[in-house]
Amino acid sequence: MNRQVLRLAIPNIISNLSIPMLSSVDTALMGRMDEPYYIGAIAVGGVIFNFLYWGFGFLRMGSTGLTAGAFGRNDRLQIALVLYRALLVAAIAGVLLILLQRPISEIAFRLIDSGEQVRYHAGIYFSIRIWSAPATLALYSIQGWMLGLQNARDPMVITVIHNLLNIIFNIALVYGLGMHADGVALGTVIADYTALALAFTMVYKRYGYRLIRVDFARVLQREEVLLFFRVSSDIMIRTLSVIFAFAFFTAQSAASGDQILAANTILIQLWNILAYGVDGFAYAAESLVGRYTGAADLEKLKKSVAVIMGWGLGLGAGFSGVYALGNEYILRLYTDQPEIIDLAMQYYIWTIAAPLINAYCFIWDGVFIGATATKQMRNSMLFSLLVVYLPVYYLGFPVWGNHALWLAMALFMVFRGVTLSLYARSAIIEPIKQKHEQ
């Protein structure tokens, strides 16, 4: 089982770590500009796109769970239909986001209280990057579908090439052409469509035989579409709750001034590096748990979860050690402004503690997505957000200031893991036992 887990997890870890590498490069590019508001601009712009794009994260997560279940049942037709439905939703949603870009940007910038210069440059960033919406959502669909087929290698290749191209384009546009946040946005758009062309090519070459021809009416069959959107709606609510938590974090940071925003943005990048690393094992959980749930193999399901949890927590401990040893030297990779480094060091303890706290809930997320136990995952997220995160911040901020914001985020992660572990038996194990009894 260890070999099977690592075969899925390692490519996902490599591909996932290239994602915060991209955002880290963007932060470092803007962190070396003359003013701190450039970092704030891409932070605020990034939050808006997290809402827009991560809100459609069900296209990846839902595709993985449903495809893995069909793979476990050896249902070739459903495997193809999941991809067709996901791509159809991605195309429609991507076009709508472009058409509605003006009201979206107006609402977003009213909700996020930021300085005038941050808002100005973030607005330019948004107006360019929004054009990549169809490509971004289609990539979610294709990569989730591949993971459901127990294939982690091809999504890794797509993601790594995608992010390397993005880094190259961003550096060329910022340093070569003297652009700022607009260069980062344009580089992202070019990289997104290039990666989508690569993804379609890989699907055709590797899986052309699986993509059997079906009547379009079959793609829109009512019961199956309702199942897709039931799973998708729960995942969307869960994902939007996560996005809201991080958007709220950025908004409250911005309200505390450009320097706090810059310091918190750098520190949250380190949280994201851990998140994307451990998510490699969470993705392995999605693939394996989905497969064993579809096959109703409870013994292998339990074993896979135990092995994945062990690897994930071990990786989290390793990240904590690296952060503890690196401290100020790591921060210097992001900015050369001494006042921002000194400010970030005041809150660095939360970054050291984060990896072990976060790894537990990330793995459980993968387990529940794979089992398509999305209702319980949604409820866990809403509880952690509404009952824990927001009250802790509002009660703590008058006393602890920015530390209260970090405490709220840490407890948000803790309660996500705890509630999901309590749900596991009723949501995942008992339904499989009932299948055996029938």
pLDDT of residue 400: 93
d(CA 253, CA 233): 30
Q: Model confidence over 82-95: pLDDT tens digits?
A: 888 889 889 999 99
* Cβ-contact 282, 363 below 8 angstroms: yes
Residue 29 has pLDDT above 70, yes or no: no
pLDDT of residue 419: 95
Residue 205 has pLDDT above 60, yes or no: yes
Query: 53-67, 320-334, 424-438: which has the highest mean pLDDT?
Result: 320-334
Q: Model confidence over 142-189: pLDDT tens digits?
A: 998 898 888 888 988 998 898 888 888 888 887 777 777 778 888 889
Question: What is the 3-class SS of the chain, one letter each residue?
Answer: CHHHHHHHHHHHHHHHHHHHHHHHHHHHHHHCCCCCHHHHHHHHHHHHHHHHHHCCCHHHHHHHHHHHHHHHHCCHHHHHHHHHHHHHHHHHHHHHHHHCHHHHHHHHHHHCCCCHHHHHHHHHHHHHHHHHHHHHHHHHHHHHHHHHCCCCHHHHHHHHHHHHHHHHHHHHHHHHCCCCHHHHHHHHHHHHHHHHHHHHHHHHHHHCCCCCCCCHHHHCCHHHHHHHHHHHHHHHHHHHHHHHHHHHHHHHHHHCCHHHHHHHHHHHHHHHHHHHHHHHHHHHHHHHHHHHHHCCCHHHHHHHHHHHHHHHHHHHHHHHHHHHHHHHHHHCCCCCCHHHHHHHHCCHHHHHHHHHHHHHHHHHHHHHHHCCCHHHHHHHHHHHHHHHHHHHHHHHHHHHCHHHHHHHHHHHHHHHHHHHHHHHHHHHHHHHHHHHHC
d(CA 65, CA 373): 10
pLDDT of residue 174: 78
Better pLDDT: 33 or 377: 377
Residue 22 has pLDDT above 60, yes or no: no
Residue 25 has pLDDT above 60, yes or no: yes
Residue 108 has pLDDT above 60, yes or no: yes
Residue 20 has pLDDT above 60, yes or no: no
pLDDT of residue 398: 93
Kindly indicate the confidence band of residue 348, based on its pLDDT and cuts at 50, 70 and 90.
very high
Closest listed residue to residue 309, CA positions, set 1, 93, 74, 64: 1
* Cβ-contact 129, 188 below 8 angstroms: yes
d(CA 83, CA 72): 16
pTM above 0.75, yes or no: no
Query: Any idea how long the chain is?
Result: 438
Q: Model confidence over 380-430: pLDDT tens digits?
A: 999 999 999 999 999 999 999 999 999 999 999 999 999 999 998 888 888
* Cβ-contact 337, 261 below 8 angstroms: no
